[in-house]
Structure 1
Amino acid sequence: MLTKPIKSGNDVSTFDNAATRERLSVVIDRIGSLVKAGEIAGVSDEQIARWRDGKAKPNFYGIAMLTYAAGKSLDWLITGEEAPELPTEAQGGVIIQTGDLPGFTLIPRLGVHASAGNGTIAVTEEPVDFLAFQESWLRSRKINPKYARVLTTRGDSMEPTIRDGDILLVDTSIDRIKDNAIYVIVYGEMVLVKRVHGRMNGSLQIISDNPLYPPEEIAPGEVDLLNIAGRVMWFGRST
């Protein structure tokens, strides 16, 4: 979570500083490898190495995703100081000014754990924090930031595609099944992330990528009990 505005454009100029690059090395080590770091940041492992070695300026989006994955704050990466704890009354949101982050928009991460397995969860619509996404990247995927939300997954039924703890970028404006894509669905008290396939008889097939979980059928008479909360447009791995 950001608690201070970072003065930068799309490229983070403070990586001219050797101490900042050393902290980036710590982040990469915590993630596990250059390859994993590249997958998280959306660049090649060679580019990650150039960022670490000061041979290229990293983009803000990539750095934000790397620090999130490593469990560190942007404050620490840029300044070497850990972000202060927010007061109790502010824990449900985030203290940030976006004027110094041109080209980025903040997407709320909700306190909803979308289950990629079985079980019920408690649902809250209050954002627990925000993740920064590049506006041009969202537009290229036809995602309106107004309807975008970030959720966290729990369970293994969508492995190897989506794993326990992955973060999902969900377009909540999509509430109808258009194809065999991955959706966040609400069925009874369950919030699930699954592939959904419409059948010619009016039923819906709920499909897990993990072969240990067989497909489930929602009968035509029960389809109205299932709500499409949104389509998963992107997912990121935290470790």
Structure 2
Amino acid sequence: MVQIEEIRAAFASRLKKSVAAKGIDQWGAGARLSEIAKVTPKAASKWLNGEAIPGPAKMQAIAEALDVKIEWLQHGAGDEPGHSSLRMTKDPASADRLSAADLVRDMLEKHGKGLPKEVRQRIASAANEPASNVITVDFSRPGQVGDEVWIAHYDVRAAMGGGQIPHEYPEMLQDIRVSPKHLRDLGLTFKEHFHLKMITGWGQSMAPTIKDRDPLLVDITIREFTGDGIYLFSHNEMLYVKRLQKKGKDRFKMISDNKHHDAEDIRVDDTHILARVLYVWNGQPV
């Protein structure tokens, strides 16, 4: 007998394939599905994580929005849809963006050959399991209301200390409403308000600039080093919130503002920048 967990896992796999083929960024998949099915982002994240399956009406709405046959999405019947059968995203760059879990798998493939097999398996598995703590980010929706916009909060984990293994489909926690004009009045520079997302750092290594669990405002369009500053980045299969300085042509100096933590040299080629931190939600620009 097929267990319900297996059915849910199989559905989640088909849903992820459909979302990816549609060109929807993985970190914004939960928010997009919640809009399609008119449910909370938390409910949508459960579909992606194999914890639940949508009902018939919501299944139909999802299939139509993702341009897949409902019998395949719901039961796996028929041929798997190819990329050519789906409408491509209007933003070609979005198809090139990698989720944090993709980065983990890519780095394991490139740099993890010296690790024991069981260690590689544990890291790869952890990248796809729900995390219990948070970084908050929505990579897709603008949602403007008058002069205010919504920035979503997602369950991903990044650390300001030893690093955290990323999670592929973060669960949304809550929305933060902000005014883009007010942010610019504070001295923040950004092109569009929907480039701004919320994250939360863990640990004390960036104190006093960033304290444990301080919310941070980041610009997710900054995916490369643009000068000395604090970045969200992936290094050696872990997520960090740290200050980066360029050191020569091929290295960064990874700096903790807490003087009890020593700076560390890391290779540029092993560092994947995901966003730049613009503002600490305790009133401190960076």
Question: TM-score normalised by the shorter chain: which range applies?
Answer: 0.5 to 0.7
In structure 2, what is the Cα distance between the partners aligned to 1:207 and 1:157?
Answer: 9
Equivalent position to 1:205, from 233, 253, 260:
253
Give matches, 1:60-139, under 5 Å: 89=43, 101-126=145-170, 128=172, 129-139=174-184
Q: Which residue of 1 aligns with 2:3?
A: none
**AA of the residue aligned to 1:133:** V
Q: Which residue of 2 aligns with 1:223?
A: 268
Equivalent position to 1:235, from 280, 283, 286:
280
**Counterpart of 1:210 in 2: which secondary structure?**
coil
TM-score by length of 2: 0.45
Give the helix-richer structure, 1 or 2.
2
Query: In 2 relative to 1, CA 206–88 (structure 1 residues): closer, same or farther, beyond 3 Å?
Result: closer
Q: Which residue of 2 aligns with 1:172?
A: 220
TM-score by length of 1: 0.54
Identity percentage over the alignment? Answer: 29
Query: In 2 relative to 1, CA 107–127 (structure 1 residues): closer, same or farther, beyond 3 Å?
Result: farther
Shift of 1:139: 4.5
In structure 2, what is the Cα distance between the partners aligned to 1:108 and 1:87?
Answer: 9
Query: In 2 relative to 1, CA 203–87 (structure 1 residues): closer, same or farther, beyond 3 Å?
Result: closer
Q: Structure 1: which 5+ residue stretches go unaligned? A: 1-85, 93-97
Query: In 2 relative to 1, CA 125–151 (structure 1 residues): closer, same or farther, beyond 3 Å?
Result: farther
> Runs of 4 or more off by more than 4 Å in structure 1?
none
Query: In 2 relative to 1, CA 135–189 (structure 1 residues): closer, same or farther, beyond 3 Å?
Result: same
Structure with greater contact order relative to length (CA < 8 Å, sep ≥ 6): 1
Q: Structure 2: which 5+ residue stretches go unaligned? A: 1-39, 47-142
Query: In 2 relative to 1, CA 145–124 (structure 1 residues): closer, same or farther, beyond 3 Å?
Result: farther
Q: Does 1:142 align with 2:186?
A: no
State the aligned residue count.
146
**C-alpha contact (below 8 Å) 1:184/1:229 kept by paired residues:** yes
**AA of the residue aligned to 2:43:** E
Q: Which residue of 2 aligns with 1:158?
A: 206
Q: Deviations over 1:11-57 (max 9, x none)?
A: xxxxxxxxxxxxxxxxxxxxxxxxxxxxxxxxxxxxxxxxxxxxxxx
Query: In 2 relative to 1, CA 105–88 (structure 1 residues): closer, same or farther, beyond 3 Å?
Result: closer
